[in-house]
Amino acid sequence: MTLDPDKRRAAASLFSRVFDLDGHDERPTSDRPLVRLCSLILLECIASRVSDLQLSLVENKGVATVQLQGSWKEMMNYPAPMHGAMVNRFKVMANLDLAKQPTQEGELRVRGHGREVRIRITVRKEPTGAEEALLHFPDDVTDR
């Protein structure tokens, strides 16, 4: 079985897609607020020159922490039920498997604040069964 050329191009574009955070060019979907929130979090990380972003569940609430100049700081809290959806959003952006696995690594490409950035992502399962996501921003973003 072979894919027709249009389907092959569409499939290939998933693996090379750059998500435009400035324009929020995503298709309207039922989870658009979540897409927008994840985009805004990434934009804030790029603007603030953080080196890492971590999403985890702590005491039944979602917590986003960032590493800035060697220190970890809490960026925001969010409802625990949103945690899985936020981690999955970043997994989709990095073309990772949505099924929970012990550890997955990948890369997502975004355009924000007028530049394209490649962000490394590691998603791992915590002892509680929830997933934790760690996004590492390249040094040229943090050294600007």
Nearest CA to 117 out of 96, 92, 88, 139 is that of 139
- Residue 2, domain member (yes or no): no
Domain presence at residue 107? yes
CATH number at residue 107: 3.30.450.90
Q: What is the sign of the dihedral through the CA atoms of 52, 55, 56 and 57?
A: positive
- Residue 12 in domain: no
pLDDT at position 28, please? 46
The Cα 138–Cα 42 span in angstroms is: 13
| Structure confidence at residue 55 (pLDDT) | 96
pLDDT for res 23: 64
Beta bridge partners of 68: 71
The per-residue pLDDT for 32 is 78
**Residue 141: predicted pLDDT:** 58
Structural domain for 65, as ranges: 18-142
Cα three-residue angle 136-142-144, rounded to 5 degrees? 150
What distance in Å separates the CA atoms of residue 103 and residue 77, rounded to the nearest whole number? 24
What's the predicted TM-score (pTM) here?
0.79
Strand partners, 135: 53, 121
Is position 9 within any domain? no
Q: Which residue in 50, 44, 43, 78 sits closest to 64, CA to CA? A: 78
Q: Does 33 reside within a domain?
A: yes
pLDDT at 110: 92
Residue corresponding to tokens 């989709």: 92
pLDDT in tens, the chain (144 residues): 445 555 544 444 445 577 877 765 544 444 578 988 999 999 999 999 999 999 999 988 999 999 998 999 999 999 999 999 999 999 999 999 998 788 999 999 999 888 899 999 999 998 888 999 999 998 765 544
Tokens in use for 41? 């979090």
Q: How many domains is the chain built from? A: 1
